[in-house]
Structures are given as C-alpha cells and as structure tokens.
Structure 1
Amino acid sequence: MLADHEQDRLVELLVATAEVIGDQLRPTAAAFIVNDLAGYPLPALEKALAACRRELKGRLSLAAILERIDDGHPAPNEAWANAIRAADEAATVVWTEQTRDSWTAALPLIEAGDKIAARQAFLEVYTRLTKDARAAGQLAVHHASIGFDASGRDAVLQRAVAAGQLAHEQVAEHLALPPATPAFNPVALLAGRVEASPEANARTRARLAELAELLGAPSAKAAA
C-alpha cells in the first residue's frame, strides 16, 4: 500500500502526465485513480506513467495505466511453456504463485496423458488467478521448484536471481558448491615430491614444507 507521501507524489504524476498528453485531470478523478493504484509500488507506477506519456494521445485513463504496469505476471502461453517443464521431476522450475497453482490444477490431466485438456485447464485457471491478482494490485511473486538434476539447477536459479525474480539468499543452499581445490599437487606427490598448489596460502605452504622435511621428500622450494 502506498504511503501518504507516495500517494501525494502519484497525484502530481497523474496531473503532469495528463497535461503532457493534452488532457486535464480533475482532483476527484485523480483521487479515484490513486485509490485504485495504491496497491502497486510507486516505481512500477512511475514507469507505467512514463509509458503513457510516450504512447497516449489526448486522454489518460485508469485502464491505460494498468495496461502498462509491469507486474511480473507472464502471459498465459508463456506461463504454460514454463510450467510444462515441471512434468520432468529432474527439472528445476522458477514460477509465479499463479503458475504453480494452475499447474497443480492441470497435473491430473497431464498424468492421465491428456496434454491438450491439461493446457486448456491450465490456461483457464491461470487467466482467472492473474485477473484476481491484478484486480488486487498484486505483483508477481516467484518461487523455485527444485528438481533432482543438480547439473541443470544452477543455470535456472542464477537466471532467476539475475532477473530479480529471486534473491540470492533464497536459492544459495540449492546452488552447487565450487569444486574443492587440493592444497597440494597430487601429480607431484605421485612422483615423490610434496608441492603446494597455486591456490594454497602461506600457512599451508609452510606446513607442507614441514611435512616434506619429515618425510624426506623434496619440496617445491627445495627443488627450485
């Protein structure tokens, strides 16, 4: 919900936008529009009104503003194309709450092998859910459905973080850890030498040198 000072700012933006496109907005009309838009964050409304100034001619309406709010809800066919990936339990999918709930409604038909009916059911539920969300001024909220294929998981989650759909903290535990780097060179050890890896710190190098001395094996420092 917009704070009082944000609502005042929105009134200013509405009046200025109307003037730019050759319209006039009365205070009463502006108050009604602000009330209908108060559920959206101000930055999203500022972008929508900027689009109105670029694209509209002659009249500013609530419908025109709503059409230009980037609320994060994908188009129905885009949502279906993303959701159908969840049919593979190995796949990690990042989707909105509406996409997830619509997929749940369509899943029995998928399991029955009727993909056409499943798509139709999905689109019907998704259209209704997104309509309700937009009427309530709700932006899309994304969640991750984690598949068991770890090799393909990172790319999906990293893309979602880069797109601002998920915070890194939400997915950090599911991201693969970088491969551990040994403190010593295993190939050199097979040849009878104790040799620190390039990534080893000074303390590790000193300990390896001590180990080499105890074992009577040449160290990288001695070999040099």
Structure 2
Amino acid sequence: MLTDHEQERLVDLLAGTAEVIGDQLRPTAAVFMVADLAGYALPVLERALATCRRELKGRLSLAAILERIEDGHPAPNEAWAIAIRAADEGATVVWTGQTRDAWAAAYPLVLAGDKIAARQAFLEVYTRLVKEARAARELGSHHVSLGSDVSGRDSVLRQAVAAGQLAHEQVAEHLALPASNPTFNAVALLEGRVEAAPGADVRTRARLAEVGELLAAPAGRAA
C-alpha cells in the first residue's frame, strides 16, 4: 500500500503524464485513480506511466495504466510456452502460481494426446486466474518445479535468478557446486613426492610439507 507521501507523488505523476499526452486530469479523477492504484508499488506505477507517456495520445485512463503495469504475470501464450515444458518430467520449470494451476487443469488433456484442447483449457483457466489476481492487486510470484534431470537444473535456475524471478537463496541448494581446486600435485604423488598444488592455501602447503618430511625420514626414526 502506498504511503501518504507516495500517493502525493503519484498524483503529480498522473497530472504530469496527462499533460504530456495532451490530456487534463481533474482532481476528482486523480483521487479515484490513486485509490485504485495504491495497492501497487510506486516504482511499478512509475514504469507504467512512463510507458503511457510513450504510447498514449490524447487521453489517460485507469485501464490504460493497468494494462501497462508490469505485475509479473506472463501473457497467456508466454505462460503456455512455459507450462508445456512441464510435460517433460525431467525439465525444471520456473512459473507463477497461476501458470502452475492452469497447467494442472490442462495436463490430463496433454496425457490424452490432445495438445490443442489442452492449450485451450490452459488459456481459459489462466486468463481467469490472472484476472482474479489482478483484481486483488496480486503480483506474479514465481516458484520452482524441479525436474528429475539434475544436470539441466542449473542453467534454468540461474536464468531465473538473473531475471529477478527468484532470489539466489531460494535455489542455492539446487545449484551445482563449483569445481573444487586440488590441494596436492597428483603427478608428483605418483612419483613418490608430496607437493602442494599451485592453488593450495598457505596452511595446506605447510601441512603437506610436514607430510613430505615424515615420508622422507629414514625408516625406524622416531617421530
């Protein structure tokens, strides 16, 4: 919910946007618009109004602003393209709750082999769910559906983090661990010598040096 200061800022943005596109916004209309838009974050509204200034001519309406709000809900066809990946049980999918629930309605038709009917069912349910979410001012929230193909998860999850759909903390346990640096020189060990690898830290180098000295000591010598 916008604070009082943010609502005042929004009034200024609405009036300025109307003026830029050749419209005039009466105070009463501005009050009603602010009341209807107060459930969104100010940066989201600022971006929507910036788009209005670029695209609209002559009239600023509440509907035009709402259409341009980036609320995290993919367009229906984009949501279907995301959801259909879940037909592959090995695939990891990052989707909104509305996409997931619409897919649940379409999945039986996919299993039956009728993808055309599945797509129609998906789009119908998805459109309704997004309409309800937008009426409640709910932003699209992304979730992960992990596939059985472990090797394929990494790129999907990293891409979602880069796009701001997921926080790194949400998926860190599912990301591949970076390759560890060897602490000793394997080739030297095969030749009977104990040597630290170039990337080993100081403590490891010291410990391996001690091990090397012990191995090089004459047999039967007391430690």
Q: Could you state the TM-score of these two structures normalised by the residue count of structure 2? A: 0.93
Q: Does 1:178 align with 2:178?
A: yes
Aligned to 2:49: 49
SS at match of 2:24: coil
Task: Map 1:71-110 onto structure 2 (within 5 A).
Answer: 71-110=71-110
How high is the sequence identity, in percent, across the aligned residues? 78
Residue number in structure 1 paired with 2:221: none
Separation (CA, whole Å) in 1 of partners of 2:117 and 2:66: 31
Is 2:195 the counterpart of 1:195?
Answer: yes
Matches within 5 A, 1:12-23: 12-23=12-23
Query: Structure 1, residues 16-45: CA drift from partner, whole Å, max 9, x if none?
Result: 111222211111111111111111111010
C-alpha displacement of 1:187: 2.1
**How far off is 1:135 after superposition?**
2.0
Deviates more, 1:17-26 or 1:95-104: 17-26
Matches within 5 A, 1:123-162: 123-162=123-162
Q: Which moved more, 1:132-141 or 1:198-207?
A: 132-141
Secondary structure of the corresponding residue to residue 165 of structure 1: coil
1:40 aligns with 2:40: yes
Q: CA deviation at 1:55?
A: 1.9
Q: State the SS of the aligned residue for 1:94.
A: strand
In the alignment, is residue 65 of structure 1 matched against residue 65 of structure 2?
yes
For the pair 1:6 / 2:28, whether they are aligned, the reply is: no
Secondary structure of residue in 1 paired with 2:200: coil
Deviation, 1:212, is: 0.8
CA distance in 2: counterparts of 1:149 and 1:184, whole angstroms:
33
What is the identity, as a one-letter code, of the residue corresponding to 1:129?
L
CA shift for structure 1 position 14: 0.6
Comparing 20-29 and 91-100, the one that deviates more: 20-29
- Deviations along 1:103-128, one digit per CA (max 9) or x if unpaired, are 11111222222222211111110011
Instruction: State how far apart, in whole Å, the 2-side matches of 1:128 and 1:207 are.
Output: 65
Give the corresponding residue for 1:166.
166
Deviation at 1:166, TM superposition (A): 0.5
Q: What is the Cα deviation at residue 7 of structure 1?
A: 1.2
Of stretches 47-56 and 169-178 in structure 1, the one that deviates more from structure 2 is: 47-56
Is the partner of 1:78 in helix, strand or coil?
helix
RMSD: 1.3
Give the number of aligned pairs. Answer: 217
User: Per-residue CA shift, 1:188-213, capped at 9, x if unaligned?
Assistant: 21121211112211111011111111
| Residues in 1 aligned to 2:150 and 2:198: alpha-carbon distance in whole angstroms | 29
Gaps of 5+ in 2: 218-223
User: d(CA) in 2 for partners of 1:138 and 1:188?
Assistant: 62
Distance 2:166 2:176 in 1: 17
The one-letter amino acid of 1:205's match is R
Which residue of structure 2 lines up, in the alignment, with residue 117 of structure 1? 117
Runs of 4+ residues deviating >4 angstroms = none
Which residue identity is paired with 1:137?
Answer: R
